[in-house]
């Protein structure tokens, strides 16, 4: 670790307990960090990350687990205007299964149990400099690849996220040079994130269309899937606006029209027909390299897997 220089790396520490903030700051200083900012509320954490994105974030989960994980998830999804790829270590006093699951699903890089020593913290940070996990992008998750069986991985694309922490501690350059280089890396990575999210979400719109066909209006599953479809379509519209995918907005508007018809129970057959046509057109727009036959085959395969999983769950 002596060959690395953490002096120019910017670190943000969130912890509602003053004594813990001070302790964490002291450990980071001992490791070699000098640009350390501490905050005591989630709103301050959010504002600091917007104002000047750090290279490393340590955030305490106790008492705000759900809100913190939602904030991290939104960050990773690119819903906010700052760096979605910052290294994030969540700290906690309890190692509950629910907490571990929430942190994993949020897209955080790591979960570190308190109390921890300088050696342990330093080793964890070093691992995210030297061996940070590749990221995956799906409809529901953007973050480190958690797959422990690479041979069984699906067609989920892996990519190496920009790592400003690594950039600053391993490469001899000024802060201005690092900022400029990171800006170029972030622009490319953000474009890739946005494109892949649109591909994934458009495919999910098709899946929800098919699942809605399986359940009559008024059932809980129908209402849940219709709500997911509405929110997902809004997200696609927002991501597509003012990009090369602007034509997707028209297909999304058609999907929203069909959703409204289904919510009002106005001519279900016509609404489902409109929904199917718009969903398939949206999917084709984002994956033009595939034929309509290939699209339908992939949709059928995914829906069949979902049905089989649901039937198995009912049997248990």
Structure tokens given for 202: 């458009």
CA atoms of 105 and 9, how far apart (whole Å): 27
Average pLDDT value over all residues in the chain: 91
SS3 11: strand
Give mean pLDDT, residues 63-74: 94
Average pLDDT over residues 270-292: 95
* pLDDT exceeds cutoff 80 at 154: no
What would the two tokens of residue 156 be?
Answer: 């989920």
SS3 72: helix
Q: What is the pLDDT of residues 80-112, one digit of tens each?
A: 768 999 999 999 998 888 999 999 999 999 999
Q: For residue 152, what pLDDT band results from cuts at 50, 70 and 90?
A: low
pLDDT of residue 2: 45
Confidence band, pLDDT 50/70/90 cuts, at residue 150: low
Residue 138 Cα to chain centre, angstroms:
8
Kindly list the structural domains of the chain, giving each domain's residue range(s) and its CATH number in brackets, ordered by start: 10-172 (3.40.50.2300), 195-315 (no CATH)
pTM of this prediction? 0.86
Count other C-beta atoms under 10 Å from residue 111's C-beta. 18
């Amino acid at each position: 670790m002596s060959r690395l220089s953490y002096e120019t790396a910017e670190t943000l520490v969130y912890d509602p307990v003053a004594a813990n903030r001070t302790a964490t700051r002291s450990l980071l200083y001992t490791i070699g960090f000098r640009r350390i900012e501490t905050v005591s509320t989630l709103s301050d954490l959010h504002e600091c990350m917007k104002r000047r994105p750090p290279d490393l974030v340590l955030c305490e989960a106790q008492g705000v687990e759900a809100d913190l994980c939602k904030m991290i998830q939104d960050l990773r999804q690119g819903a906010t205007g700052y760096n979605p790829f910052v290294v994030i270590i969540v700290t906690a006093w309890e190692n509950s299964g629910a907490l571990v699951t929430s942190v994993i699903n949020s897209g955080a890089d790591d979960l570190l149990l308190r109390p921890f020593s300088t050696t342990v913290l330093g080793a964890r940070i070093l691992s995210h400099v030297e061996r940070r996990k590749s990221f995956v992008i799906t409809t529901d998750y953007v973050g480190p690849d958690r797959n422990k069986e690479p041979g069984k991985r699906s067609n989920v694309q892996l990519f190496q996220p920009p790592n400003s922490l690594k950039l600053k501690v391993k490469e001899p350059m000024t802060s201005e040079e690092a900022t400029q280089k990171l800006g170029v890396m972030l622009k490319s990575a953000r474009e890739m994130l946005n494109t892949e999210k649109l591909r994934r979400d458009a495919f999910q719109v098709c899946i929800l269309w098919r699942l809605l066909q399986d359940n009559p209006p008024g059932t809980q599953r129908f209402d849940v899937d219709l709500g997911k479809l509405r929110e997902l379509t809004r997200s696609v519209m927002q991501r597509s606006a003012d990009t090369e995918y602007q034509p997707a907005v028209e297909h999304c508007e058609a999907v929203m029209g069909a959703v409204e018809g289904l919510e009002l129970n106005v001519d279900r057959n016509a609404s489902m027909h409109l929904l199917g046509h718009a969903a398939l057109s949206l999917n084709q727009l984002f994956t033009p390299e595939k034929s309509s036959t290939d699209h339908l085959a992939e949709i059928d395969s995914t829906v069949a897997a979902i049905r089989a999983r649901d039937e198995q769950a009912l049997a248990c």
